[in-house]
């Protein structure tokens, strides 16, 4: 009977060099500890550097609402992120809403994922392969990018990788209800964190079918546990399907080239993608019963997502299949262990690759990296308003997908600085939505403010041109432009009441 578990001590030579231990090494603890620390070091370095992007601003805004308000909003929009919003609601209540605090759950999740990668690699290919795979995962630029974003993708990567590890453990004892229950529970977490991430089940199913050729019992354990896990996410599935066309209307149907182009995107670096795939190819000498399930885990989910994106809604975004990166790292670690004659050679390869990836790592930490392609300078707009603010000033923000100028600027403004939004009828929170409700008759909403700030997207010559027509007409009738400041991605203008 074949198995996907390696013995604790593997001293094979020749082709099995990939499975030998480091000289004098004891891997009980630090096999997973060093990759975890390396990933944390990468994600925590410069974590405050990039300004909050639009999605992160949404996280901050929704997490700051009451639990009832969050649940009410999920009936209208963003149900697929609902679990994450509720987790962040509790997190920010305890740790605050600074850049570091908002992003810390993602950084911790990527660190934990690196540890799980090492454990999977050890289970499948040996201890050296596990260690190298975990270290490779830590230096992948996309790990830093989404380990520094206040969004749920890093948690999805962790949950999907843990589900893979639990599936492998269930292979050891296919008649153990506890192990299959653990796998099903983890799969439920995956679905609750992000509906589309359940495509990981397609990769798991392919691995199970390959395994079932030798041991059919795994199939009968997998099917009910996977079904139960998906059933736990049924509320998200139902709400998510009803909201998909609204939230992903802008996504085009992918062509064949998109299927090729998604691989560099998943690593946030063409160089890294090429290096990881090349190292993974070196694992080809491993036994097929170990290698083929890993290949299925990295290839099948993107193919399923690509095929599913040719209906009414396209779901083909690299973030949605980013959970395959840990499995790529496992394969690359196995390839590196197979090719490197000693741990010193492997250490040199890892060091050289890390140096070559430094430009990509620096790019991940640029100020507007989290708001590509808009690059809206929320912090700069807030500084401008704070510098020239006077008590009694009003403000007008131009909103609309994908812009979140109101809450973006509000995040960076001092919490004691009050600006009345002159055309606001009902806030987004009161509307149980991501967007607020405006006055239907803007001229009647003006209360004689002597000065009004206007924050609009873009840097055009007329700051009132992006303002909705009725609002712009009311402002032009009573105000004149006193001054403007054009920043990255947006313009701040100060209007003064006509004499």
Reference 114, options 136, 92, 98; nearest CA is: 136
Burial-class residue 90 by CB neighbours within 10 Å (0-12, 13-18, 19+).
Answer: exposed
Handedness of CA 79, 84, 90, 93 (dihedral sign): negative
Distance between CA 118 and CA 137 in Å, rounded?
9
Three-state SS for 109? Answer: helix
Residue 402 has pLDDT above 70, yes or no: no
pTM of the model as a whole: 0.92
pLDDT of residue 2: 36
Distance between CA 409 and CA 405 in Å, rounded?
6
Residue 397 token pair: 């923000």
Handedness of CA 62, 68, 71, 77 (dihedral sign): negative
Number of Cβ atoms within 10 Å of the Cβ of 86: 17
- β-pairing, 490-497 vs 451-457, is antiparallel
pLDDT of residue 246: 80
pLDDT in tens, 77-108: 999 999 999 999 999 999 999 999 999 999 99
Question: For residue 426, what are the contacts with CB-CB under 8 A and spacing of at least 6?
Answer: 436, 437
End-to-end CA distance of the chain: give it in Å, rounded.
Answer: 90
Bridge partner residues of 455 (DSSP): 397, 492
Strands (DSSP E) found in 2-72: none
Residues across the chain = 499
Residue 256 token pair: 């064949």
Residue 12 has pLDDT above 60, yes or no: no
Task: For tokens 């430094």, name the residue.
Answer: 358
Average pLDDT over residues 413-442: 92
pLDDT in tens, 318-373: 999 999 999 999 999 999 999 988 889 999 999 999 999 999 999 999 999 998 87
Bridge partner residues of 492 (DSSP): 455, 485
The upper half-sphere exposure of residue 359, i.e. CA atoms within 13 Å in the direction of its Cβ, equals 5
Whether 332 contacts 133, CB under 8 Å: yes
Query: What whole-number percentage of the chain has pLDDT above 90?
Result: 80
pLDDT of residue 27: 53
Whether 495 contacts 394, CB under 8 Å: no
Task: For tokens 């399930």, name the residue.
Answer: 293
Q: According to DSSP H, which parts of 75-196 are helical?
A: 82-95, 99-125, 127-139, 141-147, 153-172, 177-193
pLDDT grade for 451, boundaries at 50, 70 and 90: very high
Distance between CA 180 and CA 218 in Å, rounded?
9
pLDDT of residue 13: 33
Three-state SS for 23? Answer: coil
Residue 22 has pLDDT above 50, yes or no: no
Every domain of the chain and the residues it spans: 14-371, 378-497
Whether 323 contacts 156, CB under 8 Å: yes
pLDDT grade for 395, boundaries at 50, 70 and 90: very high
DSSP state at residue 400? B
- Interhelix angle 127-139/30-44, rounded to 10 degrees, is 10
Bridge partner residues of 400 (DSSP): 403
Bridge partner residues of 456 (DSSP): 491
pLDDT in tens, 263-321: 899 999 999 999 999 999 999 887 778 888 899 999 999 999 999 999 888 999 999 99
Distance between CA 125 and CA 16 in Å, rounded?
9
For the chain, what is the mean pLDDT? 91
pLDDT grade for 432, boundaries at 50, 70 and 90: very high
Residue 444 token pair: 């009647």
Three-state SS for 415? Answer: coil
Residue 140 has pLDDT above 50, yes or no: yes
Reference 87, options 159, 152, 41, 10; nearest CA is: 152
Three-state SS for 39? Answer: helix
Residue 250, H or E segment: none
């Amino acid at each position: 009977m074949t198995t996907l578990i390696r013995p604790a001590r593997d001293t094979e030579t020749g082709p099995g060099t990939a499975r030998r231990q480091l000289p004098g090494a004891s891997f009980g603890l630090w096999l997973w500890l060093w990759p975890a620390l390396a990933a944390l070091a990468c994600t925590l370095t410069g974590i405050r550097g990039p300004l909050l992007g639009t999605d992160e601003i949404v996280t901050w805004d929704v997490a700051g609402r009451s639990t009832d308000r969050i649940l009410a909003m999920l009936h209208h929009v963003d149900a697929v992120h609902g679990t994450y919003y509720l987790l962040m609601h509790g997190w920010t209540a305890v740790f605050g809403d600074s850049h570091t605090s908002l992003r810390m759950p993602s950084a911790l999740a990527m660190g934990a994922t690196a540890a799980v990668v090492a454990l999977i690699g050890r289970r499948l290919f040996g201890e050296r392969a596990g260690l190298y795979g975990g270290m490779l995962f830590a230096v992948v630029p996309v790990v830093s990018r989404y380990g520094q974003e206040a969004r749920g993708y890093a948690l999805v990567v962790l949950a999907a990788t843990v589900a893979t590890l639990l599936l492998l453990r269930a292979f050891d004892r296919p008649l153990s209800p506890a192990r299959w229950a653990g796998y099903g529970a983890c799969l439920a977490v995956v679905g609750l964190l992000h509906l589309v991430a359940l495509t990981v089940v397609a990769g798991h199913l392919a691995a199970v079918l390959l395994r079932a050729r030798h041991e059919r019992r795994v199939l009968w354990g997998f099917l009910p546990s996977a079904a139960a896990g998906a059933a736990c996410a049924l509320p998200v599935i139902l709400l998510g399907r009803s909201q998909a066309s609204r939230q992903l209307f802008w996504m085009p149907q992918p062509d064949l080239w998109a299927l090729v182009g998604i691989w560099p995107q998943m690593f946030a670096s063409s160089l890294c993608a090429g290096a990881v795939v090349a190292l993974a190819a070196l694992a080809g000498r491993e036994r097929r019963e170990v290698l083929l399930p890993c290949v299925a885990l990295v290839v099948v989910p993107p193919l399923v997502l690509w095929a599913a994106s040719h209906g009414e809604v396209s779901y083909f975004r690299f973030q949605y299949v980013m959970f395959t990166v840990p499995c790529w790292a496992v394969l690359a670690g196995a390839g590196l262990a197979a090719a490197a004659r000693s741990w010193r050679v492997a250490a040199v390869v890892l060091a050289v690759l890390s140096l070559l990836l430094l430009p990509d790592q620096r790019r991940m930490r640029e100020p507007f990296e989290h708001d590509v392609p808009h690059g809206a300078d929320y912090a700069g707009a807030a500084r401008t308003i704070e510098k020239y603010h006077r008590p009694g000033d009003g403000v007008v923000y131009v909103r609309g997908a994908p812009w979140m100028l109101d809450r973006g600027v509000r995040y960076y403004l001092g919490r004691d600085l009050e600006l009345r939004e002159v055309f606001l009828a009902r806030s987004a929170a009161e509307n149980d939505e991501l967007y607020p409700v405006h006055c239907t008759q803007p001229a009647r909403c003006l209360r004689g403010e002597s000065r009004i700030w206007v924050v609009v997207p873009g840097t055009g010559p007329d700051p009132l041109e992006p303002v909705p027509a009725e609002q712009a007409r009311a402002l032009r009738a009573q105000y004149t432009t006193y001054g403007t400041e054009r920043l990255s991605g947006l313009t701040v203008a100060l209007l003064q009441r006509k004499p």
